[in-house]
């Protein structure tokens, strides 16, 4: 079994790139960010403060997040409800950034994520995959882009969906989420020492995918020697 870990900040295009690569390599794609977003949605529905450590720890045993593939597409289930279409809002994303810093939340998902990597060729993306979840991954990628580029991508994505938004507000939100992700006590976002840095600011999706796939085949060749 092979494993590829892709880490990086919000809006770097991890999910889009990961899906493209997984399809080309025939790997199972696991969007760990979606799992954290599902938990964040649960807390939002309960009206929980994202910084309330005790309340979050109290509620975590009541939460079950699972991933299924239906017609080749990843679907995220929260306590049996398909919430895939509900977890991509800015509100959920902001809450996920806050609650992902809570030890109880990370513990709830960590073993599930590791177990997935034991049963198939896995491509997993998130904030701490290479540094914490899959520290022995065959290939680690740190995918990033400038704040300006990430904000514009998110702005275009929302506008295409007919969502009213302000570019400056999105840029500010991304900066705040970067700070939260990089400074949290538990498994902060950072580039693993042995990760390959890929800055996608001036690259197309295909160019990034080709770069990662090329790196993977080089790893396979080295392992075969």
Query: Which residue did the predictor score with more confidence, 72 or 26?
Result: 26
Bridge partners (DSSP) listed for residue 66? 77
Nearest partner of 10 among 92, 69, 71, judged by Cα: 92
Q: What's the rounded mean pLDDT across residues 4-9?
A: 96
Return the exposure string of 188-208: e unless at least 16 CB atoms fall within 10 Å of the residue's CB, then b.
ebbbbeebbebebeebeeeeb
- Enter the tokens of residue 204: 């197309």
pLDDT of residue 1: 85
pLDDT tier at 31, thresholds 50, 70, 90:
confident
Instruction: Read off the pLDDT of residues 54-102 as tens digits, 9 standing for 90 and up.
Output: 999 999 999 999 888 888 788 999 999 999 999 988 899 999 989 988 9
Bridge partners (DSSP) listed for residue 124? 5, 30
65-79, 143-157, 199-213, range with the lowest pLDDT: 65-79
Q: What's the rounded mean pLDDT across residues 127-139?
A: 93
Instruction: Read off the pLDDT of residues 156-180 as tens digits, 9 standing for 90 and up.
Output: 989 998 989 999 999 999 999 899 8
pLDDT of residue 223: 84
What's the whole-model pTM score?
0.79
């Amino acid at each position: 079994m092979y494993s590829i870990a892709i880490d990086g900040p919000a809006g770097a295009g991890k999910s889009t790139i990961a899906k493209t690569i997984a399809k080309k390599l025939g790997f199972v794609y696991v969007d760990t960010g979606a799992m954290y977003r599902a938990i964040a949605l649960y807390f939002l529905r309960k009206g929980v403060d994202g910084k309330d450590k005790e309340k979050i720890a109290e509620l975590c045993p009541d939460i079950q997040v699972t991933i299924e593939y239906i017609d080749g597409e990843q679907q995220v289930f929260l306590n049996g409800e398909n919430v895939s279409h509900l977890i991509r809002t800015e509100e959920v994303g902001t809450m996920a950034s806050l609650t992902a810093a809570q030890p109880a939340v990370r513990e709830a998902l960590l073993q599930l994520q590791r177990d997935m990597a034991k049963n198939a060729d896995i491509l997993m993306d998130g904030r701490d995959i290479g540094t914490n979840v899959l520290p022995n991954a065959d290939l680690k990628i740190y995918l990033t882009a400038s704040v300006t580029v990430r904000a514009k991508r998110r702005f275009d994505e929302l506008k295409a969906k007919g969502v009213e938004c302000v570019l400056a507000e999105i840029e500010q939100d991304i900066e705040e989420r970067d700070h939260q992700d990089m400074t949290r006590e538990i498994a902060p976002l950072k580039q693993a020492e042995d990760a390959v840095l890929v800055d996608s600011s001036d690259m197309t999706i295909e160019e990034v995918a080709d770069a990662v796939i090329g790196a993977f085949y080089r790893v396979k060749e080295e392992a075969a020697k």
